[in-house]
Amino acid sequence: MKIVALLLIAIMLSGIILSPSRSFSDTTSVTDKTLIGTGFLIGKGKLAEFGGMSSILYMSLSGSGGVYAFFKDNLGETSNVLLPGFPSSANYGCGEYIMTAKDEMWIFFGTGPLTAVQYKFSGSPLPTVAMLVSSKTFGDSSSFCPSLIKLSSGALIGAWTQKTAYNSTSGALGFAYHSPSGNWSQIFPYTVKYSTGGVRLALAQHPVDNSIWVFSKQDGAQQIYANHLTETSNGLSVDWTDTNFITQGVDGTNGPEGEFPYLVAVGDKSRNAILLAYQDDQYKIYSPYVKGAYVSIAQINTDKTKSYLVFPKYVERADYLGLIVLPDSISLGYFPINETTLTYNDAYVSSYSNGSWGQSVFLGTSYTNPPGLGYGINSTQFAVDLNLYPGNQLYLFHESTTVPPTISIISPTNGSTVAGITTVNVSISDSLSISKIQLYLDSTLYGETSTTPYTFTLDTTKISNGAHTVLVKAFDISGNSASSQITINISNVVTASPLVSITNPAAGSTVTGKVTISVSASSSSGIGNVKMYIDNVLVRQIISGPYTYKWSTSNIASGMHTITAKAYDVSGNNAVTSETVNVSKRK
């Protein structure tokens, strides 16, 4: 039985790569379970993510079957969408898929030849219907297990290896490029000096110079190759190949384990590097068929220099790893060796904090061979092939925490003066996904968003000049919340005249005795003062409301008289209004 467990995990790390923080095992727990469907996980690598939405592909074992995309957003909404036309000949465990927009997914899979398919989705707020838009094949009958990423330019690049040597003296890689304008091209075969044997591969774009790095490792070899590519106006250019990029001879025990280690690479913008994880040469042989190795995480700079972080537990030497890299955290998913049973079906995740690895946390048991592990890139989530009875049901598990998000207002700064259209930029970090962000202006809800970047547009021309309080509040999917507050001073130059009117007495009315003259005045910049005149003679000046004057008509001649009100705002603009009334003497 197979269950997909999507676990939202907070793992804070320190050391040569990460800043000090807490260990997630002290603050989180699994709380929620969502039924996805009946079937098994497709793809054993990166999950698809876009704008707070995640997607998992699976093969349904109920009804008429078929391949489905399961979607879940950070508000907890879900949908299952059948992918029509998905090739029945696909190798469902070999390949990757990405979301390039909320309504678009690309899938690159197979074991020769390879197929890239494009789906478009419709429906709101989550996709409900899929349409196959395009399909294209690459490589040849020996092409194997492709990787797929989206470049910063908007282009796509896929890379793959060959299951066997391309000829007796060299192996081959393949590269497919989908330009932002929609054209495909490929470089294949690109020969490298492999001997006979399968090859594993990982692909990432370097965040510093946008170069493309393809890492590969042959079964039985003692080195990891690096291929450096550049995106050009005509597609891709292969700049160099280093067949000894990481070796046991130069990098010691940080060199790769000699058999068939799994490679996973992530472009890390927060550390300006690529992180590459793999089983290294610190190994232990348990039996002729069971071997465990530590995991090295290499931090790779553009000049090819490297530093290492080692996970010192024996994991199965060839099984999948999951590596999630966030600005303040890293998550490592793995399958350790059970030294009693000599099995490696239990999935764990571990954290590195305050200079040491924390306690590993158990995710679940998988009986697939090999066990599958999917992982997020921009959010802390893992998908694991788990096998539970009855019914081959796929479940989505969420991990809960009581630790609130960390939130701050980046701009405007506290106490600053703003005018016109102002953007409020918010920085948020959390161990879980953020469900929503709210902005309050003077305790009144002004706006709400659930997607990155977390920004709000504040139109201060519609707000009175002066001091105002801006508060932002973040909620994560476990219901934890945190807020940040600043004070801003709005100072707009107001060119519009204030509004002024005489509300009492009514124009043309007859008045006797003592009459209360009432004036209404307003301005977006605020009223500075109001002046009242009787027959062009100033009788009252008021700097704050209510704007009233007690007029005694006993000494005023009978007949028509003019009342005038003149309002001045704090920007120096003014407006005037007048009316006439009939003064009548009592008899």
Cα 119 to Cα 212: distance, rounded to the nearest angstrom: 25
- Nearest Cα neighbor of 322 from 72, 59, 100, 44 is 44
Q: What does the angle CA 358 – CA 361 – CA 362 come to, to the nearest 5 degrees? A: 155
The architecture in CATH of the region 3-401 reads 7 Propeller (2.130)
CATH of domain 406-490: 2.60.40.10
Q: Give 495: exposed, middle or buried? Use CB within 10 Å, 0-12, 13-18, 19+.
A: exposed
Cα 27 to Cα 402: distance, rounded to the nearest angstrom: 6
User: Which amino acid is it at 466?
Assistant: G
Question: How do strand 114-122 and strand 129-138 relate by DSSP bridges?
Answer: antiparallel
pTM of the model: 0.69
Q: Do residues 232 and 211 touch, judged by C-beta distance below 8 A?
A: no
Q: Which residues pair with 120 in a beta bridge?
A: 104, 131
- Nearest Cα neighbor of 544 from 565, 532, 529, 531 is 529
Q: Do residues 367 and 361 touch, judged by C-beta distance below 8 A?
A: no
DSSP 350-393: E-EETTEE---EEEEE--SSSPPEEE-SSSSEEEEEE--SSTTE
**How many Cα atoms occupy the beta-carbon half-sphere of 75 within 13 Å?**
11
Q: Do residues 272 and 242 touch, judged by C-beta distance below 8 A?
A: no
Q: Do residues 114 and 160 touch, judged by C-beta distance below 8 A?
A: yes
Q: How many helices and strands, by DSSP H and E, does the chain display?
A: 1, 47
**How many Cα atoms occupy the beta-carbon half-sphere of 471 within 13 Å?**
11
- Confidence at residue 9, expressed as pLDDT on a 0 to 100 scale: 30
Q: Where in the chain is the domain with CATH 2.130.10.10?
A: 3-401
Tokens of 547: 């704007």
The dihedral built from the CA positions of residue 164, 167, 171 and 172, taken in this order, carries a sign that is negative
Q: Which residues pair with 283 in a beta bridge?
A: 293
Q: Do residues 452 and 430 touch, judged by C-beta distance below 8 A?
A: no
Q: Where in the chain is the domain with CATH 2.60.40.10?
A: 406-490, 499-583
Cα 164 to Cα 536: distance, rounded to the nearest angstrom: 102
Q: Do residues 106 and 134 touch, judged by C-beta distance below 8 A?
A: no
Q: Do residues 189 and 170 touch, judged by C-beta distance below 8 A?
A: no
Cα 69 to Cα 82: distance, rounded to the nearest angstrom: 6
Tell me how far CA of residue 138 lies from CA of 109, 114, 202, in angstroms.
10, 5, 18
Say which residues have a Cβ less than 8 Å from residue 522's Cβ, sequence separation at least 6: 498, 499
Provide the residue-wise pLDDT of the chain in tens; the chain has 587 residues.
333 333 333 222 223 333 333 333 333 444 455 666 666 667 656 778 887 788 888 777 666 778 889 888 877 788 999 999 887 655 555 788 999 998 999 999 887 789 999 999 999 889 999 999 999 999 988 888 789 999 999 999 999 887 765 544 566 789 999 999 999 999 998 887 654 556 788 999 999 999 999 998 887 788 999 999 999 988 999 999 998 999 999 999 999 987 777 889 999 887 899 999 999 999 999 988 888 999 999 999 999 999 999 999 999 887 778 887 766 567 788 888 888 888 887 878 777 666 677 677 777 676 655 555 666 665 555 555 554 434 445 555 555 556 678 899 999 999 999 999 999 999 887 656 677 899 999 999 999 987 778 899 999 988 888 999 999 999 876 678 899 999 999 988 777 889 999 999 999 999 999 999 999 999 877 899 999 999 999 999 999 889 999 999 988 999 999 999 999 988 888 999 999 999 998 65
User: Which amino acid is it at 498?
Assistant: P
CATH of domain 499-583: 2.60.40.10
